[in-house]
Amino acid sequence: MPLMSVAEALQRVLADARALAPETVALDATLGRVLTEDLNALRTQPPAAVSAMDGYAVRAADVAQAPVSLALIGEVAAGHPFDGEVKAGQAARIFTGGVMPAGADTVIIQELTARDGDKVTIQKATAKGRNVRDRGIDFTQGQPLLRKGRRLTDRDLMLAAAMNYPTLSVHRRPKVAVLGTGDELVAPGGTPAPSEIVYSNGFALVAMARSEGAEVSDFGIAPDRVADIAAAVRRARDWGADILLTSGGASVGEHDLVQRALASEGLDLSFWRVALRPGRPMMHGQLGGMQVLGVPGNPVSSYVCAFLFLVPLIRRLAGRDDVERVPQPARLGCDLPANDERANYMRATLSEGPDGPVATPPPAQDSSLMAPLAKADCLLIRASHAPAAAAGSPCIILKLGL
C-alpha cells in the first residue's frame, strides 16, 4: 500500500464519523459539550424592574429639584417586595435587587441622601429611571439565546441556569479506549531491566482524549501475542468504545501484531502508512461501530498522530464545528534543508519577532525524544518535497495545547 497524504488520511478517518446521539445531562456536567437543540429562555430576566443600587425608591417628579425631604413608608430587600405604593412626597428604602415598589420609577443612591428617622433628604436631583434595571433588560421569555451546535462555555452555563434550565440536551461524549502494546513496556515507578522501556505514551494519549472531552478508559498494556491483543480489543468493544486507540505494533514486522489481532476480530482496514514524519506506520480502520486508530510506538510519533487524527475524530463525534485545527502563519527561526516525500511535523518553540511569531525547531527531531516535545509550543509543518528555506522565511504552524 503506497504512502497516503496526511490530508487524505484525515479525510478517511472522518468520512463515516457522525455526531453521537443526544443525551440529557445535568447542567453542571455540560461544560464543553455541544447542544443538540436551540435554547429559548424559559423566563424573563429580570422578571420585574429592580434596583441596581442600595438607596431609596422615589418618584422622579419628587426629586427633579434638590434638596428635598421625603417621608419613608417602607423597606424593600431582594426577595422581600414591598406591597405598598410610593406616592407623592414619599420614598421607600431599597437594596440592590429589590423589586421596585408601585409608584416609584427612580432610585437615589444612599450616598446622595441623609436620613433622619422616618424622613430622608435627597441631596441631588436624579433623572427618571436612574439606577433601575427594567423588566426583561437581559432577556425575555421565549427569546433564543443559545443555538444548536454551540460548544458550551462556563458563561453559557451561567446563562442557561438563568434561563431556568436544570438539564440540557447535548451530544454524547465519545468513548475512547487506549491500549498500549509491547513485551518491552513496564509501568512507571519500578526498576526497568535494560531490555525494558517505561510506558509513557498512554499517559499523554489518555490526557489528550480527556482534554477534548472524551470519556476515556485506559486498557493498560497488552503483551506481544495476537490472542492477548485480540482479547483487549474485544474488551474495548464490549465497553462500547467509539474509538479504540492502540499504541505500538502498527506496522507489519514479525513483532508488530496489532494488525493481525484486529484482522482476526474483523477489522476493515482503511490505511496503515501515511506520508508523515513522525508517524509513517499510522493505521486506521473500522471494527463494527468502533473506529480504530493505531499510532506508532515511538512516543513523539504516537503523540503527533493522535494530535492530527484522534483529536479531530473526537471533535466530530462530539458534534463540534471546529474539527480541524487551523494552521497559523509564522517565520522560521533557523535555516532548514529541503524535505523529502513525507510531510514533516517538527517540534518547535515560539518567540515573538518584529513580523509576528517565530518558530524555531531544535536540531534533534528523533521520534523517541520526549524532552523536546515537552518544551515545544507548536508543530512546524514542512510540506512534502518542500525546498530548503532560510531563517525568516514564512512557514505554517499548529499550536500545541488546548
Give percent of the chain above pLDDT 70: 98
Tens digits of residue pLDDT in 88-106? 999 999 999 999 999 999 9
* CA dist., res. 304 & res. 153, Å (int): 27
pLDDT tops 90 at residue 2 = no
| Mean pLDDT of all residues belonging to the chain | 95
- The three-state secondary structure class of 277 is strand
State the residue for C-alpha cell 429611571.
129
pLDDT tops 70 at residue 1 = no
Spell out where 148-235 has E strands: 167-171, 175-181, 185-186, 197-198, 215-222
Tens digits of residue pLDDT in 208-221? 999 999 999 999 99
252: pLDDT confidence band, cut at 50, 70 and 90? low
pLDDT tops 70 at residue 251 = no
Tens digits of residue pLDDT in 144-186? 999 999 999 999 999 999 999 999 999 999 999 999 999 999 9
Give percent of the chain above pLDDT 90: 96
pLDDT number for residue 315: 98
User: CB within 8 A of 371, min separation 6: which ones?
Assistant: none
Amino acid (one-letter) located at 235: R
β-pair type (68-76, 119-122): antiparallel
β-pair type (328-332, 343-353): unpaired
State the residue for C-alpha cell 518544551.
375
Tens digits of residue pLDDT in 273-302? 999 999 999 999 999 999 999 999 999 999
pLDDT tops 70 at residue 325 = yes
pLDDT number for residue 253: 56
Assess whether the previous peptide bond of 194 is cis (omega < 30° from 0).
Answer: no
250: pLDDT confidence band, cut at 50, 70 and 90? low
pLDDT number for residue 74: 95
pLDDT number for residue 249: 75
pLDDT tops 90 at residue 135 = yes
Amino acid (one-letter) located at 367: S
* CA dist., res. 49 & res. 102, Å (int): 10
All domains of the chain, ordered by start, with CATH?
6-20+172-317 (3.40.980.10), 22-45+138-171 (3.90.105.10), 50-133 (2.170.190.11), 328-399 (2.40.340.10)
pLDDT tops 90 at residue 401 = no
Q: Which residues pair with 68 in a beta bridge?
A: 122
Q: Indicate the burial class of 282 (C-beta count within 10 angstroms; 0-12, 13-18, 19 or more).
A: buried
Mean pLDDT of 180-199: 93
pLDDT number for residue 156: 98
More confident residue, 227 or 2: 227
- The three-state secondary structure class of 48 is coil
pLDDT number for residue 402: 65
pLDDT tops 60 at residue 255 = no
pLDDT number for residue 15: 96
